[in-house]
Structure 1
Amino acid sequence: MPGHVLDAERAHLAASRAALKAMREHARSLSADAAGDWVSQQILQSLLDQRVAALADHPDTPLFFGRLDRSAADDLPDTIYVGRRHVHDESSRPLVIDWRAPVSRAFYQAGPADPMGVALRRRFGYKGGELTAYEDEPLDGRRLGPSRLLTEEIERPRTGPMRDIVATIQPDQDEIVRADLGVTVCVQGAPGTGKTAVGLHRAAYLLFTHRERLSRAGVMIVGPNRAFLAYISSVLPALGEVRVDQTTVTGILGEHAHPEDPAVAAIKGDARMAEVVRRALWLHVTKPEEGVLFTKGINRYRVADHEVREIVAGLRGTTRYGPGRATLAQRLAHAVLIQMERRGESPDDRVQDAVARSKPVKALLDAVWPKLTPEQVLFRLLSDAAFLARASRSDLSAEEQELILWRKPYKSHRSAKWTAADAALLDEIAGLIERTPSHGHLVVDEAQDLSAMQLRALGRRCRTGSATVLGDLAQGTTPWSARSWKTVLDHLGQPSGEVTELTLGFRVPREVLDFAARLLPSVAPDLAAPRSLRPGAGSLSVRPVPDAVAAVPEAVRQALGREGSIGVIVADAAVPAVSAALEGVPHTVLGPDSTGEDRVLVVPATLAKGLEYDHVIVAEPADIVAAEDRGPARLYVVLTRAVTSLTVLHARDLPAELAVP
């Protein structure tokens, strides 16, 4: 019987792949020539190209991973195959239903207590692209224990970029994935709980459910660095979503990498700076001392100084700076037109625009409401002590003002070397001058490490939309790391966002997670300790050695005897020495802009966040802790990157929390 079932399911898989190929060929055969003009043709061709790309069939990726045998009496088919995308035959009969469709929700949520109209749930096992096994789960109350195929899929060794988790989404994860577009969701996720995958799958779900709206407004994924983006880059395309922006905060705000004292960066990243830079911008608007005299032929029209002051006062601070300047010109021109009409003239809009562009009006604008760039404003703020004091008022202490003031002022804003913290301030000022375009949805990962000003910058980009905020307060490694998600949501401009917590891990073995969790009381005492479904007996090895760097090659050779990827994670300063010690072993040193193609990767501790490896080797934890103020949090991140085994090599004493009892 099992053999016959497998044969039938393999036949359905073959038919589904053939149907997908036909769908792709049909999309490829369509022509954009039907569009009227050249621009419309280019737009239509782009859409057709995206459709063809979305219909790509990946031979090593299962086209469907589940099946529902339904008991409900309705218009839906009795048998539904759930997969990564919709597939239909030439008669439009569905062969595979997209996992995001409403009817597919039962695959993740149905249970004996609420079968949701399903009598039987079937999971499929694959090796490469070949269907090799199946497992049935009746939903009549019989307890069959945990799914073997589900466990095997979760524990399957990984190589290369991150995989999607559509076959293994758990009910609590599915609730987050299917949250409505209008809801901002904040996910506090312990290591291995799949929070990053949940965020990506929510983006895919929203694009499916609200295709028309989000195709206009756009979806953006924001990660901590380019190495992380490369790691997750294949997830959305595998789900058929090829039109999603993936970037970093640096990619949004600009490459400003000039080094800066963390204490200075912390002040610049503080939420108080929002009010400081707002004042700094509006302090450039001065009180008019003269009126405007406009001459047309032999006629002279004067707008008195007191009237100009009233117009400026009525506009100051009630609009964005750029539109306010344009409005001031129009208000002055309108005052002139009123005088023209009183003299019996009949001026129209063209006359008003001409007055607004006239030299007298432009001269007053330049004197009273000058045209500014963000760089000009911030340059003056950081180079002029008196101006900084006026803008700060009581928001920054004298000591804080002294700390952020440039010691050696640059000659001009064009020669200034801006820092990453400056970039967020420049973006804040830019948002005060002109409106920042907003996306329909924003997914922000590792959000706990963003400063208040960086969060405000991201908030401007989902001002008219919503967000999925992902992170772990215990993994905060910057001096300004968040201590509460409410604060993060407030800074993001989404105060009504819903905070949910994922504490049950599926990837990190329990033995490894429990070891790393010993750091939690000192790192994030208010968080519940994470739990793992995987016992992972024998997954942890803590080895005292004479020289941790010298011991790395042997540990790597032992790991090479097992299946899966290998990450050697060390303090940033130790990377060159560890790479030299591995001479003769093919490996890559992970950089901010690279992922590496070798099975063995040497990973600086500061780049490990968000990444996972089957086997992790950590050399000298004490050096990782000593390298930065929040070193214990960094070590917590490093120790939780392993999904099969963790080997800790140390010549120096372990941190007290990790010492073997």
Structure 2
Amino acid sequence: MAPVPDTTATLEDEQRFFDHAREVREKARAQLAQAVSAAADNKARASLKKAAASDETHGSPQDPAAFLRIDTKDGECFYVGNAGVRDETSTPLVYSWKARYIAQLRAATHTAPGDVVRNRTYTTEPVNRVLRFDDVVLADLAERVAALDDPQLAVIEDDALLLDALDRERSPDMRQIVQTIQAAQSEIVGAEAAQLLVVQGGPGTGKTAVALHRASSLLFNEQIDADQLLVVGPNPTFTRYIASVLPELGDRHVRQTDVTRMLDVTVTATAHDDPAAARLKGDARMVGLLAKGLRDRVRTLDDALSFSVRTMPWRVRIAPDDVAEIAARYVGSPYAIGRVRFREALTAALASAVKKQAQDDGDRVPGDTATLLHPSELENAVERVWPQLSSQAYLRDLFGSLERLVAAAEGASISADELQLLRRPAAARLADQSWSREDLVLLDHVNAAINGDLPGYQHVVVDEAQDLSPMQLLSIRRRSVDGAMTVVGDIAQSTGLWARDTWDDVVDVLRSALPVRLVELEYGYRVPRSVMALAARLLPVAAPGLHVPTVVRDVEPGPQLVPVPTGAASLAATVRTAVTHHSARGRFVGLVCPDGRRAEVVAALDADDIQWHDADSGSLDKAINVVSPVGAKGLEFDAVVVVDPQAIVDAGPRGERMLYIALTRTTKFLDVVHPEGALPTLLGGTRAPVDPPAPVAPVAPVVEPVRPVPDPAVVAPDSAVVSPDPAVAPGPAGLALTAMQRKMIDLVVDELEAPTLEVLSSSFLPRELWPVVLEGVAERLREL
């Protein structure tokens, strides 16, 4: 039975409860430690000592007894802490935040209070000293919200501790944020495990925190062992960034890894595929190709298999059709398991043949006729039909043979041109074969096809899932026992070869017999409102139709757009000044820099002996961190300096999404340093982004173009325009145009006019900026 709330309780009253609850908790901790010394023998003592060392039910001795009290309509109150506390009669004094019923109570809001009347949050300091408490009475809050101009922005008042947490500085590791789980997130955290739960969340909505707290809640409520839960991130940097969260929540033995290190492979990636090959290797069509190629390695024979029999003057034979019939029984099994079963079945068939032949000839043979076969002959026969393969040998041989690729692609809807993307020379020695990052995923798939799936996890949590290829998603799905998964990400931040606009194909790959549920985190807590407003200008192009989170906080000052005039101090010097300004104030700084600017920016930092860390290589420091836009995905910093946003947009496809990611990495301060006149139009610049020139395939042989002979009536030998011919009209840049040239120009303009207007109309540019675009096009043409 929960205690009865005392709404008149003073700070001293609450302190007495906190002291009592902590005393009970620490007494229980001490009793567990004493049990070790009281053990009867060394074995029992070692077992108890191990249990005491791994015990996490009492939390940390430094934890306050509680951080929240929930009062309900039926007159009960529930103190909530990082760990539960029970007194000598097993009556709960404090409930763990992980308890599903507590999660349901915490989901109460002023618009849907349920049984909750009041939330009381505590501010404490070490050890267990209560400094103050703050009450939120949901009925009173509902009245205040109704009087606001923008009621949505009052949602944060439902959780007073969230306000305090948002004012704290970020750090290289995510810190404990149990107290910051807002009501709208609590229902997701406490949801049932047996489902595929997809959580869409924009920048700063707390999706990673929700995913990790959900993992901790599942361990507590579903009786899942820690080694039966897998957490997968996009890269090693992100994994290190979140690594401290689960241990701080009391869950120290959960496997946390990234999508590459998760794979069951023994090689590392040293090669790089071109984008077309990399995308094909990530395509789900590779499943059919790899499966067919593996089946093709089981051969059919043209002649019978013949075996000698010990002590007998005769041989036994098995016809090719009989061998094929035996092999066909096991082709559907994992390749190596099927090979073992084929060998056993072939041995049994041969033993029967030996016995029959002996009976026909009147020869006496031992009961186990299989012992009369020569093992080497048997093994050679098995190898002829069903060769032994490793995943590396199979993939090397497949990609090294166009004939094998063509045969494997039968029925896989892969064109001949695409097969050429997979084709590469096979290394003479398997140890010398180089592999790409995409190959590792295929090797993992082939390893499962050869040896069978590894033991699965009861629940899998996947963060930043929006960029994963179908083959990567399949590799994760294979590690789930029954498809129970929590998948989080942001479609607006989906970039790379598998950038997508919906979660549909992700769900299709991960779907199982379990229910599928897609939820969206509506409120943003970490990215300031003014920063999100700036970044949201990109969404009509970056992710049309996607919901923008309602941001419930802001900071001063807002985003700083810092133009660097041509001929002034270098862009890198301005970046260095901005970075050191934030670092000198103790802020966790992210310097988001496109690859084309990285060398000059890093050189400027090094010239002044400014220490920085390379976040792209997995190194994060509490001071200055240089990171690419794609490497910044999932990270958060107190202050972010974005370098040359137009260069980020121009660097490749989905450039607006990459810039959206870069701008939304901050929780407080944002500086955008750009060359004057080169700010993207969507951010308020005056010039439309210029696409980088498309790569031109080399053409051989190279033929010098034929130049037209000038008309002497139009152009004099010194190329000056001299003709007074009335059929010649003046053109742009002082050119004189003949009537024929003018007609040709009119025809070209007619061809360009309609598609140009269509592009401009769909570009979200104000009409007054259209002439600027056309001037840019003319300028480009003059340069050509």
Same fold by TM-score, threshold 0.5 exceeded? yes
| Per-residue Cα deviation, 1:75-133 (whole angstroms, up to 9, x for no partner) | xxx33211122123455443321112133124412346654444332112345765322
Report the residue type matching 2:163 in the other structure. Answer: T
Match of 1:472 in 2: 490
- Which of 53, 56, 60 matches 1:57? 60
Paired residues for 1:304-343 under 5 Å: 304-316=319-331, 318-338=332-352
Cα distance change, pair 44–626 in 1 and its aligned pair in 2 (3 A): farther
Cα distance change, pair 2–313 in 1 and its aligned pair in 2 (3 A): closer
Is contact 1:195–1:470 with CA below 8 Å preserved after alignment?
Answer: yes
- Which of 209, 223, 226 matches 2:233? 223
For 1:41 and 1:421, locate their aligned partners in 2 and report how far apart those are by CA, in whole Å. Answer: 49
Match of 1:178 in 2: 190
| Per-residue Cα deviation, 1:509-552 (whole angstroms, up to 9, x for no partner) | 11111211221222222422332112446321112123332112
Report the residue type matching 1:97 in the other structure. Answer: Y
Paired residues for 1:413-428 under 5 Å: 413-428=430-445
Match of 1:432 in 2: 449
Match of 1:279 in 2: 292
| Per-residue Cα deviation, 1:545-598 (whole angstroms, up to 9, x for no partner) | 233321123323443575642222212454453344335576431334544333
1:528 pairs with 2:547:
yes
Paired residues for 1:146-157 under 5 Å: 146=154, 147=157, 148-157=160-169
For 1:221 and 1:655, locate their aligned partners in 2 and report how far apart those are by CA, in whole Å. Answer: 37
| Per-residue Cα deviation, 1:365-397 (whole angstroms, up to 9, x for no partner) | 100111101111110121112211221236222
Match of 1:655 in 2: 680
Instruction: State the SS of the aligned residue for 1:137.
Output: strand
Match of 1:601 in 2: 625
1:249 pairs with 2:254:
no
Instruction: State the SS of the aligned residue for 1:635.
Output: helix
Report the residue type matching 1:9 in the other structure. Answer: E
| Per-residue Cα deviation, 1:206-260 (whole angstroms, up to 9, x for no partner) | 111122x4346x1111111222112111111111111100101121225324222
Deviation at 1:467, TM superposition (A): 1.1
Cα distance change, pair 278–577 in 1 and its aligned pair in 2 (3 A): same
- Which of 49, 71, 74 matches 1:72? 74
Alignment gaps of 5+ in structure 1 = none
Paired residues for 1:433-472 under 5 Å: 433-437=450-454, 438-472=456-490
1:370 pairs with 2:387:
yes
Paired residues for 1:14-53 under 5 Å: 14-31=19-36, 46-51=50-55
Instruction: State the SS of the aligned residue for 1:315.
Output: coil
For 1:117 and 1:631, locate their aligned partners in 2 and report how far apart those are by CA, in whole Å. Answer: 48
For 2:252 and 2:185, locate their aligned partners in 1 and report how far apart those are by CA, in whole Å. Answer: 23
- Which shows bigger deviation, 515-524 or 149-158? 149-158
Question: In the comparison of the two structures, how many residue pairs are matched?
Answer: 648
Is contact 2:616–2:627 with CA below 8 Å preserved after alignment?
Answer: no
Is contact 2:233–2:259 with CA below 8 Å preserved after alignment?
Answer: yes
- Which of 73, 81, 84 matches 1:83? 81
Match of 1:214 in 2: 225
- Which of 526, 531, 550 matches 2:573? 550
- Which shows bigger deviation, 287-296 or 426-435? 287-296
- Which shows bigger deviation, 92-101 or 362-371? 92-101
- Which shows bigger deviation, 186-195 or 624-633? 624-633
Report the residue type matching 2:291 in the other structure. Answer: R
- Which shows bigger deviation, 29-38 or 132-141? 29-38
Deviation at 1:29, TM superposition (A): 4.1
Deviation at 1:46, TM superposition (A): 4.9
Match of 1:513 in 2: 532
Is contact 1:459–1:494 with CA below 8 Å preserved after alignment?
Answer: no
- Which of 280, 297, 315 matches 1:267? 280
| Per-residue Cα deviation, 1:147-205 (whole angstroms, up to 9, x for no partner) | 25432323433233113432222333222212211111111111111111111111111
Is contact 2:172–2:621 with CA below 8 Å preserved after alignment?
Answer: yes
Match of 1:136 in 2: 135
Is contact 2:21–2:94 with CA below 8 Å preserved after alignment?
Answer: yes
Is contact 2:528–2:668 with CA below 8 Å preserved after alignment?
Answer: yes
For 2:601 and 2:28, locate their aligned partners in 1 and report how far apart those are by CA, in whole Å. Answer: 50
Cα distance change, pair 195–364 in 1 and its aligned pair in 2 (3 A): same
Report the residue type matching 2:432 in the other structure. Answer: S
For 1:590 and 1:17, locate their aligned partners in 2 and report how far apart those are by CA, in whole Å. Answer: 43
TM-score between both structures, scaled by the size of structure 1: 0.89
Is contact 2:107–2:185 with CA below 8 Å preserved after alignment?
Answer: no
For 1:520 and 1:606, locate their aligned partners in 2 and report how far apart those are by CA, in whole Å. Answer: 17
For 2:308 and 2:397, locate their aligned partners in 1 and report how far apart those are by CA, in whole Å. Answer: 33
For 1:201 and 1:22, locate their aligned partners in 2 and report how far apart those are by CA, in whole Å. Answer: 28
Cα distance change, pair 377–16 in 1 and its aligned pair in 2 (3 A): same
Is contact 2:304–2:317 with CA below 8 Å preserved after alignment?
Answer: no
For 2:18 and 2:501, locate their aligned partners in 1 and report how far apart those are by CA, in whole Å. Answer: 49
Report the residue type matching 1:570 in the other structure. Answer: C
For 1:178 and 1:511, locate their aligned partners in 2 and report how far apart those are by CA, in whole Å. Answer: 32
Is contact 2:104–2:187 with CA below 8 Å preserved after alignment?
Answer: no
For 1:203 and 1:369, locate their aligned partners in 2 and report how far apart those are by CA, in whole Å. Answer: 44
1:502 pairs with 2:521:
yes
- Which shows bigger deviation, 258-267 or 578-587? 578-587
For 1:517 and 1:170, locate their aligned partners in 2 and report how far apart those are by CA, in whole Å. Answer: 23
Is contact 1:20–1:57 with CA below 8 Å preserved after alignment?
Answer: no
Report the residue type matching 1:159 in the other structure. Answer: S
Cα distance change, pair 303–102 in 1 and its aligned pair in 2 (3 A): same
Q: Which has the higher contact order (CA 8 A, sep 6+)?
A: 1
| Per-residue Cα deviation, 1:299-334 (whole angstroms, up to 9, x for no partner) | 865544332221112322x21111111111222233
Instruction: State the SS of the aligned residue for 2:10.
Output: helix
TM-score between both structures, scaled by the size of structure 2: 0.76
Alignment gaps of 5+ in structure 2 = 1-5, 146-153, 687-784
1:631 pairs with 2:655:
yes
Cα distance change, pair 102–250 in 1 and its aligned pair in 2 (3 A): closer
Is contact 1:122–1:134 with CA below 8 Å preserved after alignment?
Answer: yes
For 2:366 and 2:41, locate their aligned partners in 1 and report how far apart those are by CA, in whole Å. Answer: 41
Instruction: State the SS of the aligned residue for 1:95.
Output: strand
